């Protein structure tokens, strides 16, 4: 099956510093990846859609200058939390979209394969 990795799995940083999180699709190419944030006992909240070769699109209420997303290749998307503050502490999860098929009678199921998540703690 499709495998998505994230690095690091956890990070602790001081307030005001920037943190970069990597998301990689290991055995397939993903033109679209998604970044989510999850607070304890809550559901996943979509932050942004990362498209290879173009700018990310952000959900309403998500600051694009604070959460920088780069999707430089078909297997890598990065999320940089700039000038992190304690309220940014959360569990960040990426996912890669099941690539669409065509011409063979099959259609994409839009299944997403999720990374294991990155626990960010800002002191």
Partner 1 sequence: SQKIEQNSEALNIQEGKTATLTCNYTNYSPAYLQWYRQDPGRGPVFLLLIRENEKEKRKERLKVTFDTTLKQSLFHITASQPADSATYLCALLRGGGKLIFGQGTELSVKP
Stretch binding partner 1 (CB under 8 A), from 13-21, 64-72, 78-86, 87-95 = 87-95
Task: Give the helix/strand (H/E) hosting 116.
Answer: none
With contact defined as beta carbons under 8 Å apart, do 6 and 119 qualify?
A: no
**Whole-angstrom distance, CA of residue 5 vs CA of residue 40:** 21
Q: Would you say 73 or 111 has its CB closer to partner 1? A: 111
Closest CA to 122 of 41, 20, 17, 36: 17
Interface residue with partner 1, options 19, 21, 24, 34 (CB under 8 A): 34
Residue 121 lies near partner 1 (rule: CB under 8 A): no
User: Contacts with partner 1 in 44-63 (CB under 8 A)?
Assistant: 44, 46, 49, 57
């Amino acid at each position: 099956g499709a495998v998505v990795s994230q690095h690091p799995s956890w990070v602790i940083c001081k307030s005001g510093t920037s943190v970069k999180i990597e998301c990689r699709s290991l055995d397939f190419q993903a033109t679209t990846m998604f970044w989510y944030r999850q607070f304890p006992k809550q559901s996943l909240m979509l932050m942004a859609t990362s498209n290879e070769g173009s700018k990310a699109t952000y959900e309403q209420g998500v600051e694009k200058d604070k959460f920088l997303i780069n999707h430089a290749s078909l297997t890598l998307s990065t999320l940089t939390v700039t000038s992190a503050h304690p309220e940014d502490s959360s569990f960040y999860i990426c996912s890669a979209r099941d690539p669409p098929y065509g011409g063979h009678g099959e259609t994409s199921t839009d299944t997403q394969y999720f990374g294991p998540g990155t626990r960010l703690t800002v002191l």
